[in-house]
Each structure stands twice: as C-alpha cells, then as structure tokens.
Amino acid sequence: MLNITENILIPIFAVVGSLLFMVGLNRAWPWEKRHAHNDLIGWQLSILGTTYAVILGFMLYAVWTNFGAADLNVDLEANALVNVYRLAAGLPQQQRTQLEALALSYADVVINQDWPEMSHNQVPERSQEINRDMWKLLMTVKAASPTEITAEDHALYELSALTEHRRTRLLQSISHLPAVLWFVLIVGGTVTVASACLFGSANTRLHGLQVFAFSLLISLGLVAIADIHLPFRGAVHVSNYAFRRAQQNMNN
C-alpha cells in the first residue's frame, strides 16, 4: 500500500543507498584486495541471487493472484446485484419497488462509502445494513403466481451470492502480507545487493552500473509487491468500476 510519491522515492533511496555502500566499501576495503576473493564472492552471489529471485518471483506471483481474485470477486458481486434488481420485476408490485430501491442504494453506498472506507482500512457497515434489508424484504414476499415464485427463488439465490461476495471483499480488504515475509524480502534483498557490492572490479564504473541495475530491479519488485498486496488500498487498487457500470445498467 504505497502512494505515488513513495513508489518513486523508495527505488531512488534503495539505489542511492546501494551505491553509497559500494563507494564506502571501496574505501574501507579496496577492490585490489577483494579481487582475490571474487571466485568465492561469485559463488555466494550466485546462490543468494537464485534463492532470492525465486522468493521474490513467488511472492510477486502470489500477491498478483490475490489481486486478480479480488478484482474478479468485485465483478461477481456487482453482477449479482444487477441480477437481483432485474429479478425484482417478477415480484409483487410493493416488494418490486422496494427491492429495486434497495439495489440502487446498495450500489451508491458501495461506490461512495465502501471504497473510501476500505482504502482507510475500515470495515464498511452501511452496505451490510442494506444487504440485511434485502433479506428481510424477500422473506416477506407472498408469491401467488408461478412467475412470482420463480422470481423470488432466483432472487434469493442471487442475493445469497451477493452476500457471499461482499463478505469475501471485506476479508480481502483487511488481509495483508505477514510481517515475517516482509522481513525475508527486505533482508534477502539487502544481503543480495551487498554481496554484489563485494566484487573486486578494476572498472568501478561498470561495477557501479551493475549494482545500480541490481538494486533498482530488486527495489521495483518490492515496491510492486507493496502496491498490490492490499488490493483495496494505495495507488494501485481494485477499481469500483464494476459497481459504477452496474449502477448505470440499473438506471437505464
């Protein structure tokens, strides 16, 4: 969960810190003395780099999968809401009007209240109240014709799906990457970059360019994980477009 400024500053600080560490290391332990140990350092960097690449890649894949699942769940919730609204047409007139109004209110509340609250790590309450009112309303329907019976049955099914997807959305909004995994990612990245700085190279500019590229790539990977591991917070988050589209469909 990072904003745009943090997305820019973190890689800059990581790269600058890595280069400063390399410069300080060259002064404290000149490259001429480290050059004799390049075989050992290279073996160490190969093992560390491969291990960390697997960890970083797996974590990036995992959080992106969770982000995609949250996005899909929002679409399913919005689709279930539209289906409830459309099925209301088959209910008796009084329940039809009330259920349509509740569906429109649900979409409005999700867009204007749920998303801002989830972005601030708060649990939305108003949409739950509307969801509860929908259940109460459908339980009071006195279906008389086969059409009304079918509409009520399908509306209950869609409302059940809507409720399930809402609960999933709330769970996804408060879930986060455990601190121990962040510890592994940050320490692993630091150790790997530090190992790259240990090389004794006569061409300090080329060595600096390699450290620059290495630290930039690792910091960008960590920033990407931080951006998407909380799907409803930060600069990169699941959009409420599905509900805005659903709202438009219902109004039309």
The fraction of the chain above a pLDDT of 90, given in percent, is: 66
> What is the model's pLDDT at position 25?
86
Q: Per-residue pLDDT for 118 more than 90?
A: yes
Instruction: State the average pLDDT for the chain.
Output: 91
| Residue appearing with tokens 């769970």 | 171
Q: What is the pLDDT of residue 215?
A: 94
The pLDDT tens digits of the residues spanning 147-204 come to 888 999 999 999 999 999 999 999 999 888 899 999 999 999 999 999 888 887 778 8
CA gyration radius for the chain? 27
| Residue 31: pLDDT over 80 | no
* Runs of H (alpha helix) within the chain: 4-28, 31-34, 38-87, 93-109, 115-119, 126-139, 146-174, 179-197, 204-228, 241-251
User: Tens of pLDDT along 70-91?
Assistant: 999 999 999 999 999 999 999 9
| Range name among 51-60, 140-149, 190-199 with the lowest pLDDT average | 140-149
Distance CA 18, CA 12 (A): 10
Q: What is the pLDDT of residue 148?
A: 87
Q: What is the pLDDT of residue 203?
A: 81
pLDDT on residue 141: 86
Return the pLDDT at 28.
85
Q: C-alpha angle 35/38/44, rounded to 5°?
A: 150
Binned at pLDDT 50, 70 and 90, residue 1 comes out as: low
- For residue 56, give the nearest of 171, 231, 190 by alpha carbon: 190
- The arithmetic mean of pLDDT across residues 225-249, rounded, is 93
pLDDT at 234: 86
Q: Read off the pLDDT of each residue in 195-218 and give the average, rounded to a whole number.
A: 87
End-to-end CA distance of the chain: 36
User: In sequence order, what are the residues at sequence separation of 6 or more whose Cβ sits closer than 8 angstroms to the Cβ of residue 193?
Assistant: 18, 21, 211, 214, 215, 218
Give 13-26 pLDDT, tens digit per residue.
999 999 999 989 88
Non-local CB neighbours of 89 within 8 Å, separated by 6+ positions: 96, 151
Structure tokens at 155: 């509306």
Q: Higher model confidence: residue 41 or residue 49?
A: 49
Q: Give the torsion sign (CA, 143, 147, 149, 151).
A: negative
Distance between CA atoms of residues 92 and 78, nearest Å: 24
pLDDT in tens, 2-13: 788 888 999 999
- CA dihedral in degrees (205, 209, 210, 214; nearest 10)? 150
